[in-house]
Chains A and B, each alone.
Chain A
């Protein structure tokens, strides 16, 4: 039996055990749809921190980011900045949405949109389109999983089989466990990921260069173009960094699964505390990017090297087999665990916000079971998409963000602050944003004039959203006052007082 087989077999066995652990704990917890999707809004700071971290820090962080630094140099820093901007944005946005969500018992982003704009049709539209975009995001994690098995197995296991095995585990874990199961698995995954990246970050400079100081010195002397923008990337300059960080920073919370995680917290304070402590995770990203830079000097820059594989290549080249097992488990979990809530949220959106909205006679119990059963077809669709349209991890993430960020005007600007926003404005803005994004991406105009294509599309979306909203009938003020009562209590009470006074006059 070869070493590669032992490593792969041991890793798969450990991943299977961790999955069973999550599934078992999930069976004890999830009894209804609200419990399954948002854990009845009872998660404390510790679990939410791990859950958010686990979903945000995925195969992209573990493998793709090092690969991006390896290929594009300093442009990879966009990913350090975007999350911190997102935490700052989320500091106020998530707790405010949580307050509204608890008042009206919302469990999905689509519930929130339908409630704010008083439009069931808009809710269905948002649920369906976001579910589609989320399936595309799962590709990223399948690709990450394939990269692990590709390097460890030396090509002995085909991409097809590695994808199928990973997703069978994933689909079963999500079906049996719900989000609680994933939170426990997330804890294990994050610990393994911290240990693995920490060890790699410390050992690589000492083993290959002698010290951090010598490594940094070689960075400056041998590959200076990797430490400026656009530098080695040639086309990803400062304007691209600014527009990408802003677009992705405001777009992060538009992913329905992260929006859903906000509902799992037990209080708004829990979410605010997350915003304070989540930036510490960013140091992990800096470590991964450093490994990517070091890989340029250690592995060279041959075109035959797939950027996604450099972390695993360094791990297998540097460490003994037992550590490679630990590393492989962490890498696999980083691909599998984050995909769980994405599939679960997708299925919840389709069952609850599309099927039940179209057929209101469906009972809650039926919706609960349809949600669980949809996990399998959605997983299979994602698997097929991955096999039919294979892509680089980074390309998938950036394009997915271009599309999902188009929800920002509807969810945050109109959803929380601008009461004149209308459902017609949201429809028109979203369609404009997606069409512009699709056109620019498909015609290879990303970046355009140095700007991120999704950001340009967002500006078009925003302009159409505002103009069409101003030209169409607003949502009644009485509804909005009631809707915002939990989030903006003073303003809503004041506005309700004015309405009552006008009625009295």
Chain B
């Protein structure tokens, strides 16, 4: 269970970092433009596309290691 919680916390921190950490460090600029878009705008188009991939990876990890699911099945059974 601790591994599952640790992975979840890492994921939360990663998503927070992508949005606000990266913005603070290097994305808070208009140029260089990417595909014509202002840099900050591009970043906020890109990260919502990355989030489902990151959360999807967490989902697969969770599916394999989370004991809550097993307990839930027992309760239903």
Question: Chain A residues in contact with chain B, CB under 8 A?
Answer: 74, 77, 80-81, 84-85, 87-89, 91-92, 95-96, 99, 102-103, 212-213, 216-217, 219-220, 224, 227-229, 238, 241-242, 245-246, 249, 267-269, 272-273, 275-277, 279-280, 282-283, 286, 289-290, 486-491
Contact = CB atoms under 8 A, between A and B. Distances in A.
Q: Is the interface of A mostly helix, strand, loop or mixed?
A: helix
Interface string B29-70: 111010111111100110111011011101100110001111
A88 B55 contact: yes
Contacts of A283: 45, 48-49
B62 A272 contact: yes
Residue among B24, B28, B67 with the highest chain A CB neighbour number at 10 A: B28
B35 to A, nearest CB: 8
B8 to A, nearest CB: 4
A412 to B, nearest CB: 11
A488 B20 contact: no
Contact of A88 (B15, B35, B49): B15
Contacts of A91: 8, 11, 55, 58-59, 62
B51 A219 contact: no
A487 B11 contact: no
A276 B38 contact: no
Contact of A84 (B40, B41, B47): B47
A219 B30 CA distance: 9
A227 B41 contact: yes
B38 A220 contact: yes
Contact of A217 (B1, B16, B36): B36
B38 A224 contact: yes
Given A81-B47, A220-B33, 20 more contacts: A80-B19, A84-B19, A88-B11, A91-B55, A91-B59, A216-B36, A224-B30, A228-B28, A229-B40, A245-B16, A246-B16, A268-B69, A272-B59, A276-B59, A280-B52, A282-B48, A289-B44, A290-B41, A489-B71, A490-B67
Given A77-B44, A275-B55, A488-B1, A85 B30 contact: no
A90 B14 CA distance: 15
B16 A249 contact: yes
A404 B3 CA distance: 30
B38 A279 contact: no
Interface residues on B, range: 35 or more
Contacts of A246: 16, 20
Contacts of A273: 59
Given A217-B36, A228-B28, A81 B19 contact: yes
Contacts of A103: 75
A214 B40 CA distance: 18
Contacts of B20: 81, 238, 241-242, 245-246
Contacts of A96: 68
Residue among B4, B5, B72, B75 with the highest chain A CB neighbour number at 10 A: B72
A445 to B, nearest CB: 22
A444 to B, nearest CB: 25
Contacts of B33: 216, 220
B19 A85 contact: yes
A182 B53 CA distance: 30
A438 B49 CA distance: 37
A87 B11 CA distance: 11
A286 B44 contact: yes
A268 B63 CA distance: 11
A446 B69 CA distance: 43
A103 B51 CA distance: 31
Contacts of B75: 102-103, 486
B68 A268 contact: yes
Given A91-B58, A269-B69, A486-B71, A213 B36 contact: yes
B2 to A, nearest CB: 9
A87 B16 contact: no
B28 A238 contact: yes
Interface in B7-24: 8, 11-12, 15-16, 19-20, 23-24
Contact of A227 (B1, B19, B38, B69): B38
A85 B55 contact: no
Contacts of B56: 276
28 contacts: A80-B44, A80-B48, A81-B20, A81-B44, A84-B19, A88-B16, A91-B59, A103-B75, A216-B36, A216-B37, A220-B38, A227-B39, A227-B41, A228-B29, A238-B24, A238-B28, A245-B19, A249-B16, A268-B72, A275-B59, A279-B51, A279-B52, A283-B45, A283-B48, A286-B45, A488-B68, A489-B68, A491-B1
